[in-house]
Amino acid sequence: MPKKKHTAESSIFKAILIFFFGFILLTILWVQVSNSYCYMITLAASKVLAEIKDATLDEVVKKGDAFYVSMGFLRGHRRFVLGVILFSGYYAFSVPLTLSLLASLSLFIKRKKRACAEALLILLLSHFLYVFFVEAKTLTEQSMINGIEPVSETLLSVYQYLRNATEFTVMSFGPFLIAIYTFVRFRR
């Protein structure tokens, strides 16, 4: 019996099938776990920001499709409570697409575990940075308005720029950037 030759066309076809079936399956699974994922990312970013801003993280609460983060600032004898509303769908919707792209690339890469770990780390870091900079920009602006910290247009501009840059990256081409990085770094 003749042996089948492994052709590039069959690998590409398999990768397309893996992508489509993976995307459907991962989207169904993602709906089940997305709130927990977004909560953990929001909580981690909020704790780091609270340390940087010398504030206390009062609460992270899910309200509908958003997370409400409140932080307390003690300045002198006054306590200020400032809040941020984050819509998790803005950054987390791309997770099934990213994972499906990575699964479809598994036929073309070596060191699959390492590639997957690096890609997931980049995905987590990009989401963390997006949440961090959204909170940092909003809380810095509110702090300046309330006199908690001195007005600094430069600092506010930097946070605004970083927020917009991470938002654009995460929402526009983040999954494809991660897939390209993984393919280029780990291709056979």
Contact 56, 35 (CB under 8 A): no
CA dist., res. 13 & res. 158, Å (int): 45
pTM of the model: 0.87
* pLDDT class of 174 with cuts at 50, 70, 90: confident
CA dist., res. 92 & res. 57, Å (int): 23
* pLDDT class of 60 with cuts at 50, 70, 90: very high
Q: What is the mean pLDDT of residues 81-100?
A: 88
Q: Closest Cα to residue 126, out of 181, 77, 76?
A: 181
For residue 61, the cross-strand partners are 68
**pLDDT tens digits, one per residue of 99-111:** 999 999 888 888 8
Question: Taking 70 as the threshold, does the pLDDT of residue 134 lie above it?
Answer: yes
Question: Taking 60 as the threshold, does the pLDDT of residue 1 lie above it?
Answer: no
Q: Closest Cα to residue 118, out of 40, 46, 183, 30?
A: 183
**pLDDT tens digits, one per residue of 151-169:** 999 999 999 999 999 988 8
Contact 94, 174 (CB under 8 A): yes
Q: Domain ranges in the chain?
A: 10-34+43-186
